[in-house]
Amino acid sequence: MNKDELKGKWMQLKGSIKSRWGKLTDDDIQRIEGDRDKLVGKVQEKYGKSREEAEKQVDEFTTRH
């Protein structure tokens, strides 16, 4: 899923994202606004992951959804 597809499906994916990354708050999800880089950054920040690991997790998630 590319950046544009993520933005387009953001409303549908919000619940799944919150289930997958429970440390993300509603405010975090609202601020991300479907931006892949913002999602990667928040996953990295909240879970103490490297940039590469956070990107891998987001890419795996978006591939499945």
CATH of the domain at 15: 1.10.1470.10
The range of the structural domain enclosing residue 30 comes to 3-64
DSSP the chain: --HHHHHHTHHHHHHHHHHHSTTS-HHHHHHHTT-HHHHHHHHHHHHT--HHHHHHHHHHHHHH-
* Domains: count for the chain: 1
Interatomic CA distance for residues 61 and 46, integer angstroms: 17
Mean pLDDT over the full length of the chain: 92
Q: Tens digit of pLDDT for each residue in 31-60?
A: 999 999 999 999 999 999 999 999 999 999
Q: Which residue has the tokens 């987001």?
A: 58
